[in-house]
Amino acid sequence: MPRTQEDPWFAPLYRRIAVVAVCLGWLGLEAYGGEQIWFYLAVAITGYAVWALLIAYKAPDEKQD
């Protein structure tokens, strides 16, 4: 099952920052390599990751039923 930003795995800030950092690394790799289509795909994924995991993130409830 794919993880969503509400998944408890994303609760620690360092994990969310690590995911964004990997996306930024991929973005840099594609920019360096000159692959235009993959570059724009990486821009879109990185932008979504920043928005979903850092800006609009809401921590899951502590107690689960």
* Cα 50 from Cα 35, distance rounded (Å): 22
Map out the domains of the chain as residue ranges. Answer: 11-55
pLDDT tens for each residue of 23-62: 999 999 999 999 999 999 999 999 999 999 999 888 766 5
Question: Given a cut of 50, is residue 63 above it in pLDDT?
Answer: no
Question: Given a cut of 90, is residue 14 above it in pLDDT?
Answer: yes
* Cα 51 from Cα 56, distance rounded (Å): 6
| Encoded tokens for 35 | 């692959």
- For residue 61, what pLDDT is reported? 66
